[in-house]
């Protein structure tokens, strides 16, 4: 405990140190005097200039009280809708006002604006100029000639100078507009053209000098200069609090030195400016709550850096506390888990900071909320996988695993009844299974064969005859009215089991068992607490095709990795075949149940809830057959996933705290296991579909770009999943690298299948039990088995191309979103790849042997290797 605590403390300290190293500080010129002018819009966070509540005098007065120490002048943009209140209140604080007239296509409003502005200018002496329109020609609300006419009309009535606010290129390209105004009010906002923050001041002064050269003798004011504190990048221009403070302080210092008249945009953030992309809301020197974003003197830094860092470190520590309960954790295990916990803590802190520092309309808030609902389970899944990596790579070896044959006490040979349920199974395949049973090196067993609901005598008569040939140990039962699918057949077998049989063995109809199966494992039942012994599944036709080679590698991972680890908590998933059950345990659990389509997993959980011990061995004591086709593989996985969801619905109460039956470790294994399998695949598909729906918004709306806090975790989860697969296969599964990579493809290929099964499980209580086609009798069907996966993969890839092609501003978040779309297409592409492989000549090992022969060195003798004889492999094992 002390050593684990020391590791956790060390990692937390390193986390805090990393935040210290990441703190950005920059020396910039101090600004001691008030600013020349600042843009001011009198709208609070929940207000909008076009509708809703109007600003009140009290609200404006509070704002100007905050601003008065920072500036001598404020620039407004409207003379109605609350803007008419500003001059009088500004006079209370000794502030001058550059009064704005808002001009757009609404002529009635334009007229009200003009009349109000003229009246205000005649009434209040602190108004020093009138600005007719703001970027009116840029928005194409007025032509140059129309705007000139409005300016000239206002000039005839105004007691103060009159101008208009336009971007600097308009003043460069239209000298006739400059001749119509009393002074030039140029907007130079280099963020919008993608100039990096470190170059923006130089560029701005260069543009100012160009205007001076073009319009000699004309007064020129940089009427808008600023930088956003948050949002998305524009080409090479990056928003940020430090960037904003640095740019503003540098510009003001140099403008004062050069005698440049200027106005800073703007005083307060304006959350209503959603029409200006992701940055329109964040140009204020103060946030919408009227808190200063930075200091005008001293080093420039993020004032919230240590708030965020402190929260991240605290969350990392809290998430690391469960590690302290692992008193047997090794150093490497504790370090891995603590680092992962602190990474997740930093992510949660970043989310909190994002929520606190950004403004949300309803849609954006909903998107963030929905994203978190999906990403929090994804983070939990990633942590569970990292924990498994840590346990296997750095933890202590398995202690409950039956790794070798168990010695039998003298005279201990309880009777075993082996049950073989079958439904329309190929007779030759089933005969091979029974022949293997007959060869068992165990003195006291019987075999009950039940062929259920198979009226065609070509399936059952040869088996009946074969059982007679094998002798009295073999009991044959044929019944065409068995209810409850496989569970019903097993109940029927139990009814015909010898009264003195203490142990029930279950194998599938395709399994060829090794002679030492019972001899090696039955001695475990000497311990009266042991209720079941489970051996892994394996297959003898893995070299039939490339596809079967991949599938066999994928199955091996479950039995050599997940089952071994779960066995340490006495929480394995019982999978029926190659299973030995104490008859008393079977009876105490109520026997085989038909209320799920995975009766074996259901029984195993019931046995555990009764307090029995279940042990696992990863030694191969039998070999069956793989699904014949990719479609059969998917149907089998669909049945397992749907059945898993059925079990979750049936047993979830047993996973609750303070509910007896299962231990805390068992509850955790089953809960995390279901989340890790069913949840990961379902969430992956849901997020992919939601991202597809979001593609048009990102590509064409330009304001609903997923932030990196929502996209990077998806990529991180994929990296963790891939690393989990590769690392644990290399550590635990004895297959080649090529087969391992093929297994990766096979594992990804069933994401859509598992997600569909979860969907069925949510709204449909039962599905019929579907036999998995095995034995080579079933050929590939006429339909492409991965049609919907192909559709989803194509849409995701097209979506990625579309968002990149429309990313004219080179916004990083959009490119990351495109990468996410590509990554999310990989499981669907994997299914398409296997479906296409199955139908091609590349699926035949003979083709690859031929390729190998053709690329051999000239003159070198080449012997083409025949496919591995799996039967000989089985016999040698």
What percent of the chain lies above the pLDDT cut of 90?
A: 84
> Quick one: DSSP state of residue 439?
T
Q: Which residue has the tokens 């507009």?
A: 177
Cβ–Cβ under 8 Å, residues 181 and 220: no
Q: What is the mean pLDDT of residues 251-270?
A: 97
Q: What is the mean pLDDT of residues 199-213?
A: 98
Q: In terms of residues, how long is the chain?
A: 877
Mind listing the pLDDT tens digit for each residue in 662-672? 999 999 999 99
Mind listing the pLDDT tens digit for each residue in 494-504? 999 999 999 99
HEC per residue, 556-604: HHHHHHHHHHHHCCCCCCCCCCCEEEEHHHHHHCCCCCCCCCCHHHHHH
Sign of the CA dihedral 723, 725, 726, 732?
positive
**From CA 85, how far away is CA 88, in angstroms rounded?**
6
Cβ–Cβ under 8 Å, residues 137 and 151: no
HEC per residue, 822-868: HHHHHHHHHHHHHHHHHCCHHHCHHHHHHHHHHCCCCCCCCCCCCCC
Please tell me the predicted confidence (pLDDT) of residue 864: 43
Look up residue 716 and give its two tokens: 């991180």
**From CA 90, how far away is CA 60, in angstroms rounded?**
9
Please tell me the predicted confidence (pLDDT) of residue 858: 56
pLDDT of 777 strictly over 80: no
pLDDT of 175 strictly over 50: yes
**What residues contact 764, with CB distance under 8 A and at least 6 apart?**
none
Please tell me the predicted confidence (pLDDT) of residue 867: 44
Choose among 486, 421, 433: nearest CA to 625: 433
> Quick one: DSSP state of residue 653?
G
pLDDT band at 861 (very low <50, low <70, confident <90, very high): very low
Report the DSSP beta bridge partners of residue 835.
Answer: none
Q: What is the mean pLDDT of residues 177-182?
A: 96
Look up residue 522 and give its two tokens: 């039955």
Q: Is residue 174 classed as helix, strand or coil in its secondary structure?
A: coil
**From CA 87, how far away is CA 266, in angstroms rounded?**
17
Least confident span in 94-103, 707-716, 825-834: 707-716
Buried b (16+ CB within 10 A) or exposed e, 310-329: ebbbebbbebbeebeebeeb
Distances, alpha carbon 832 to alpha carbons 197, 254, 270, 634, 787, in Å: 46, 61, 48, 12, 8
CA dihedral of residues 99, 101, 102, 103 (deg, nearest 10): -150
Is 473 buried (19+), middle (13-18) or exposed (0-12) by CB count in 10 A? middle
Cβ–Cβ under 8 Å, residues 734 and 620: no
Choose among 252, 247, 254: nearest CA to 263: 252
pLDDT of 775 strictly over 80: no
**From CA 470, how far away is CA 465, in angstroms rounded?**
9
Q: What is the mean pLDDT of residues 465-484?
A: 96
Report the DSSP beta bridge partners of residue 592.
Answer: none
Q: Is residue 503 classed as helix, strand or coil in its secondary structure?
A: strand
Across the chain, what does the average pLDDT equal?
93
Please tell me the predicted confidence (pLDDT) of residue 782: 79
Q: What is the mean pLDDT of residues 507-518?
A: 97
Cβ–Cβ under 8 Å, residues 289 and 269: no
Count CB-CB contacts under 10 A for residue 98. 25
Please tell me the predicted confidence (pLDDT) of residue 868: 43
Please tell me the predicted confidence (pLDDT) of residue 706: 83
CA dihedral of residues 41, 104, 282, 49 (deg, nearest 10): 50
**From CA 243, how far away is CA 24, in angstroms rounded?**
10
Please tell me the predicted confidence (pLDDT) of residue 603: 96
Mind listing the pLDDT tens digit for each residue in 417-474? 999 999 999 999 999 999 999 999 999 999 999 999 999 999 999 999 999 999 999 9
Look up residue 846 and give its two tokens: 């003979």
Mind listing the pLDDT tens digit for each residue in 145-164? 999 999 999 999 999 999 99
Q: Which residue has the tokens 């007679």?
A: 468
Q: What does the DSSP assignment read for 526-538?
A: GSTTEEEEE----
Q: CA 634, 640, 642: angle at the middle one, nearest 5?
A: 95
Please tell me the predicted confidence (pLDDT) of residue 426: 92
Please tell me the predicted confidence (pLDDT) of residue 877: 32
Give the pairing type, strands 530-534 and 613-616: parallel
Choose among 268, 251, 180: nearest CA to 218: 180
Q: In the chain, count of helices (H) and strands (E)?
A: 30, 19
Q: What does the DSSP assignment read for 758-786?
A: HHHHHH-S-----PPPBSS-PPPPSS-TT
Sign of the CA dihedral 316, 317, 322, 324?
positive
**From CA 638, how far away is CA 644, in angstroms rounded?**
10
């Amino acid at each position: 405990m002390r050593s684990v605590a020391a590791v956790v403390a060390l990692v937390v300290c390193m986390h805090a140190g990393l935040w210290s190293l990441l703190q950005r500080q920059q020396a910039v010129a101090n600004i001691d005097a008030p600013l020349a002018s600042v843009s001011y819009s009198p709208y609070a966070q929940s207000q909008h200039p076009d509708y809703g509540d109007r600003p009140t005098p009290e609200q404006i007065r509070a704002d100007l009280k905050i601003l008065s120490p920072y500036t001598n002048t404020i620039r407004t943009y409207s003379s109605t809708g609350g803007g008419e209140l500003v001059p009088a209140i500004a006079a209370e604080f000794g502030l001058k006002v550059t009064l704005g007239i808002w001009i757009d296509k609404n002529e009635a409003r334009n007229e009200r604006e003009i009349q109000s502005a003229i009246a205000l200018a005649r009434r209040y002496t602190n108004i020093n100029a009138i600005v007719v329109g703001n970027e009116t020609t840029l928005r194409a609300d007025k032509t140059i000639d129309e705007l000139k006419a409005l300016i000239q009309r206002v000039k005839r009535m105004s007691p103060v100078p009159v101008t208009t606010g336009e971007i600097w290129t308009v003043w460069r390209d239209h000298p006739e507009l400059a001749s119509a105004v009393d002074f030039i009010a140029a907007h130079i906002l280099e963020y919008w053209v993608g100039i990096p923050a470190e170059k923006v001041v130089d560029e701005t002064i260069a543009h100012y000098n160009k205007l001076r050269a073009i319009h000699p003798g004309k007064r020129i004011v940089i009427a808008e200069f600023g930088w956003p504190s948050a949002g998305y990048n524009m080409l090479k221009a990056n928003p940020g609090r430090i960037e904003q403070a640095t740019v503003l302080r540098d510009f003001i210092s140099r403008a004062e030195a050069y005698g440049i008249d200027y106005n800073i945009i703007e005083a307060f953030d304006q959350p209503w400016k959603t029409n200006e992309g992701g940055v329109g809301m964040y140009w204020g020197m103060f946030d919408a709550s009227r808190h200063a974003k930075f200091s005008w003197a001293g080093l420039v830094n993020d004032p919230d850096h240590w708030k965020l860092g402190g929260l991240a470190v605290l969350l990392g520590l809290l998430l690391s506390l469960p590690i302290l309960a692992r008193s047997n954790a090794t150093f490497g295990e504790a370090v891995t888990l603590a680092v992962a916990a602190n990474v997740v803590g930093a992510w949660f802190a970043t989310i909190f900071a994002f929520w606190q520092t950004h403004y949300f309309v309803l849609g954006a808030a909903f998107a963030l909320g929905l994203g978190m609902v999906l990403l929090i389970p994804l983070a939990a899944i990633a942590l569970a996988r990292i924990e498994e990596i840590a346990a296997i790579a750095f933890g202590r070896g398995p202690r409950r695993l039956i790794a070798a044959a168990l010695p039998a006490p003298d005279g201990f040979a309880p009777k075993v009844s082996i049950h073989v349920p079958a439904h329309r199974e190929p007779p030759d395949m089933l005969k091979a299974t029974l022949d293997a049973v007959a060869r068992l090196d165990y003195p006291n067993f019987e075999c009950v064969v039940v062929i259920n609901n198979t009226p065609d005598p070509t399936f059952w008569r040869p088996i009946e005859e074969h059982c007679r040939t094998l002798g009295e140990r073999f009991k044959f039962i044929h019944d065409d009215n068995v209810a409850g699918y496989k569970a019903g057949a097993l109940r029927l077998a139990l009814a015909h089991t010898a009264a003195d049989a203490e142990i029930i063995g279950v194998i599938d109809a395709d399994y060829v068992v090794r002679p030492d199966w019972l001899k090696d494992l039955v001695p475990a039942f000497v311990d009266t607490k042991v209720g079941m012994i489970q051996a892994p599944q394996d297959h003898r036709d893995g070299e039939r095709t490339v596809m079967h080679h991949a599938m066999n590698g994928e199955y091996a991972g479950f039995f050599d990795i997940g089952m071994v680890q779960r066995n340490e908590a006495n929480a394995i998933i019982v999978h029926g075949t190659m299973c030995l059950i104490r008859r008393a345990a079977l009876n105490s659990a109520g026997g085989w149940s038909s209320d799920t389509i995975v009766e074996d997993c259901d029984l195993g959980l019931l046995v555990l809830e009764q307090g029995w011990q279940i042990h696992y061995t990863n030694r191969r004591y039998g070999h069956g057959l793989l699904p014949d086709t990719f479609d059969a593989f998917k149907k089998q996985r669909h049945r397992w996933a749907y059945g898993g969801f059925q079990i979750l619905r049936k047993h979830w109460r047993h996973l609750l705290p303070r509910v007896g039956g299962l231990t805390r470790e068992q509850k955790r294994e089953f809960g995390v296991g279901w989340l890790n399998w069913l949840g990961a695949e379902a969430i992956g598909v849901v997020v992919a579909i939601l991202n597809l729906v979001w593609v048009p918004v990102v590509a064409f709306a330009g304001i609903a770009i997923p932030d990196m806090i929502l996209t990077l975790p998806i990529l991180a989860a994929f990296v963790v999943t891939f690393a989990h697969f590769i690392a644990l296969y290399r550590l635990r599964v004895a297959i080649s690298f090529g087969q391992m990579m093929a297994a990766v493809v096979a594992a990804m290929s069933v994401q859509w299948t598992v997600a569909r099964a979860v969907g069925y499980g949510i709204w449909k209580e039962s599905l019929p039990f579907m036999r998995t086609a095995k034995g080579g009798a079933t050929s590939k069907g006429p339909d492409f088995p991965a049609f919907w996966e192909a559709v989803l993969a194509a849409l995701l890839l097209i979506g990625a191309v579309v968002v990149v092609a429309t990313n004219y501003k080179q916004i990083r978040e959009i490119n990351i979103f495109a990468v996410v779309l590509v990554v999310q297409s990989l499981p669907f592409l994997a299914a398409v790849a296997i479906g296409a492989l199955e139908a091609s000549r590349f699926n035949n090992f003979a083709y690859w042997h031929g390729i190998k022969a053709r690329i051999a060195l000239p003159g070198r003798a080449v012997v083409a290797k025949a496919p591995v004889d799996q039967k000989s492999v089985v016999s040698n094992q």
